[in-house]
Structure 1
Amino acid sequence: MDRIVLGNEEFEGRNNAYVLVDEGTDDLALVDTGVSTPEIRSDLEKGLAARGYEFADVDDVVLTHFHVDHAGLAGEIQAESDATVYVHEADAPLIEAEPDAVAALDERRRDLLEAWGVPDGPKDELLALLEGARAIEGEPADATPIEDGTVLEVGGTTLETVHAPGHAAGLCCFEIVDGSNGRAADGGSEPGSEAFVGDAILPVYTPNVGGADVRVDRPLEKYLATLRRIAGQEYDRVWPGHRDPIDDPAGRAMTILEHHRERTGNVLDVLREHGPADAWTVSAHLFGDLEGIHIVHGPGEAYAHLDHLRHEEIVEIEDEEYRLVADDVDLEELVSETG
């Protein structure tokens, strides 16, 4: 197993594509591919060439989720190699660019931007950005759907699928089954229990919840469950979709969970100090002025917390504004122990 670092400086930073090779058969698999831009395609081609391969040699592509910085090149690779592209069943229609699925995602986003109270100016800026980003989504791929527990045999490695929704509906981690691949990605000795985790946990940033995939119902609840599941796996090391490996995955998962406990407290403070508010107004108090993709990520994150508080009967919603109705809130129980 080896890692190609791609030059993307947007989103959460440098992307990773992981290379799995069966030394006996030369079967080649990639975990994630990067954005479909000439620069990133060149990065990936050069990384493969340095290892003696090209796109046409790829037998399998395993995608952690549908976001363009992870899946953008999957269709182009498949077109040159006839590779099998694996992705969770929730994300498969978007990888295949099914018109109904794409239209439903766009409609859901527009509806939520309206419900969150995003003003026309920022809303138009965001929608123009997203429309312009269609070009980096790449070519559609013929997807092979997988689900939680699916076992893949790719590149001489056995991967067990661990569904990890929250940041995206179909986000999956892929646990490396012990003994199936003998080298860690940094060239070290036999790994212990390890996994590819996509954007489920990241070493620097906290993955966006609520705005990154507007299809997710009760996004914060699902993401908190994902964090607890990763912490419970007790991996020795995980390989994220961005930046460097994480050597204390359980600790990192619990740090992100603590971050969301604090953010829930901050959301409650906004409602206490300023009264009923929509998600856009709450996000303005939390994050200040927003631009670019953060126009959906900011209120989406606020919404994820407000939605969680609503289901726990801490707030009520009327005319798209959230009003605090219970002030005796145990944040530890509400966030850390929910579910």
Structure 2
Amino acid sequence: MERLSLSNAAFEGDNNAYLFADGSAVTLIDTGDWMATTREQLETALSQHGLGLADIDRILLTHWHHDHCGLAGEIQAESGADVYVHAADAALVEGDEAAWNAMDDRYRQYFEKWGMPEDKQAALRERLTDGETTVETPTVTTFEDGETFSVTDSDLEVVHTSGHAAGLCMFEAAIDGERQVFAGDALLPVYTPNVGGADIRVDRPLEKYLRALQGIVDADYDRAWPGHRTPIDDPAGRAQYIIEHHEERSWRVLNALDRRGSCDTWTVSADLFGELEDIHILHGPGEAYAHLEHLAREGTVVREGTEYRLADGVADALTELEGERWPLAY
């Protein structure tokens, strides 16, 4: 297996694609985005292993975000490669017009529900369509949790980890006598993957992501190969850190409601993250909304229309637990 590093201007850092070249089917996990510079980098990296795009037989996608699947259509057009993705993300990867229109409608509904100001909505729509171009999209074959793909001397088993994206999946494998996992954006070494804004189709995104993280803790992998940046040598420890990060963020959400009283998602987001620009205009309130809805289901927060307030008695509990994490159920 070879890790191919591909540039990415986004805050997560360089993307990774993973190459399995020695099996019966030359396989690539993720492709990088659709930019011409990324294609050049991928071609250069493949050439160092005596391969070109035309030699790729199979592409396994971790999820639908363009920085992970952007070149899948071009590679398929050149090589005839089979492209696989979880069923929940298939329509978006294939560029299905109805699926993307439904996503756009959902964005508009959520921007209003969150209380996002008009100028921020306009700036975000401009960001989401910036550099929009015609991208060659692939025809995909879907997979589900538990399916396996043979590569080199091992099998890759699909582990569905919804939260950051509806169809986000990892691929678990036994490599060099170790339990390893290709984690996509389920586990990143520096940033905590956004929940709530990164895929607004996901119902109960924080609950699902916390469950996925606990699964990583329980699996106790020897190594994780993330979708961005460098390998993670203690996946369980990193997953536990992110669980605790979300518990701490829930405390901050409750604290914001305690200080501000009843308020909407955008106000809570501003309290957590301050002034937002670029893609963070989406990710900030999305994350706040995911936490607010999760806490509402737990009964510690009450939603009234588009505003949230602390449930009766929670303010006293906050005082008693000051300095501790807020324990999240999932």
Compute the TM-score of the two structures, normalised by the length of structure 2.
0.94
Q: What aligned pairs does 1:232-271 form with structure 2 within 5 A after superposition?
A: 232-271=218-257
Correspondence for 2:13: 13
Q: CA deviation at 1:11?
A: 3.8
From 141, 162, 167, the equivalent of 2:164 is 167
From 183, 187, 193, the equivalent of 2:179 is 193
From 81, 104, 126, the equivalent of 1:128 is 126
% of aligned pairs identical? 52
One-letter amino acid of the counterpart of residue 283, structure 2 = H
Determine the C-alpha separation between the residues in 2 that align with 1:311 and 1:175: 32
Determine the C-alpha separation between the residues in 2 that align with 1:265 and 1:134: 38
Correspondence for 2:291: 305
Task: Decide whether aligned partners of structure 1 residues 9 and 157 sit closer, same or farther in structure 2, where only a CA change above 3 A counts.
Answer: farther
Q: CA deviation at 1:104?
A: 1.0
One-letter amino acid of the counterpart of residue 270, structure 1 = A
Correspondence for 2:215: 229
Q: What are the Cα deviations for residues 113-143 of structure 1, in whole angstroms up to 9, with x where unaligned?
A: 11000000010010111122533x8321111
Determine the C-alpha separation between the residues in 2 that align with 1:191 and 1:9: 35
Asked if 2 retains the 8 angstrom alpha-carbon contact of 1:20 and 1:157, the reply is: no
Aligned residues: 323
One-letter amino acid of the counterpart of residue 49, structure 2 = R
Q: What are the Cα deviations for residues 219-277 of structure 1, in whole angstroms up to 9, with x where unaligned?
A: 11011001001111110001000000000000000000000000000000000001111
Q: CA deviation at 1:99?
A: 1.3
Deviates more, 1:100-109 or 1:263-272: 100-109
**Helix, strand or coil for the counterpart of 2:231?**
coil
| Stretches of structure 1 lacking an aligned partner (at least 5 in a row) | 182-189
Give yes or no for the alignment of 1:283 onto 2:235. no
Q: What aligned pairs does 1:62-101 form with structure 2 within 5 A after superposition?
A: 62-101=60-99
Correspondence for 1:111: 109
Asked if 2 retains the 8 angstrom alpha-carbon contact of 1:20 and 1:156, the reply is: no
Determine the C-alpha separation between the residues in 1 that align with 2:66 and 2:32: 7
Name the Cα RMSD after superposition: 1.5
Q: CA deviation at 1:5?
A: 0.5
Task: Decide whether aligned partners of structure 1 residues 169 and 212 sit closer, same or farther in structure 2, where only a CA change above 3 A counts.
Answer: same
Q: CA deviation at 1:8?
A: 1.1
Q: CA deviation at 1:69?
A: 0.6
One-letter amino acid of the counterpart of residue 17, structure 2 = A
**Helix, strand or coil for the counterpart of 2:88?**
coil
Determine the C-alpha separation between the residues in 1 that align with 2:263 and 2:250: 15
Determine the C-alpha separation between the residues in 2 that align with 1:158 and 1:56: 23
Determine the C-alpha separation between the residues in 1 that align with 2:7 and 2:32: 9
Q: CA deviation at 1:22?
A: 2.2
| Stretches of structure 2 lacking an aligned partner (at least 5 in a row) | none
**Helix, strand or coil for the counterpart of 2:263?**
coil
Determine the C-alpha separation between the residues in 1 that align with 2:79 and 2:247: 46
Correspondence for 2:193: 207
Determine the C-alpha separation between the residues in 2 that align with 1:318 and 1:202: 35
One-letter amino acid of the counterpart of residue 100, structure 1 = A
Correspondence for 1:147: 144
Asked if 2 retains the 8 angstrom alpha-carbon contact of 1:60 and 1:154, the reply is: no
Asked if 1 retains the 8 angstrom alpha-carbon contact of 2:164 and 2:186, the reply is: yes
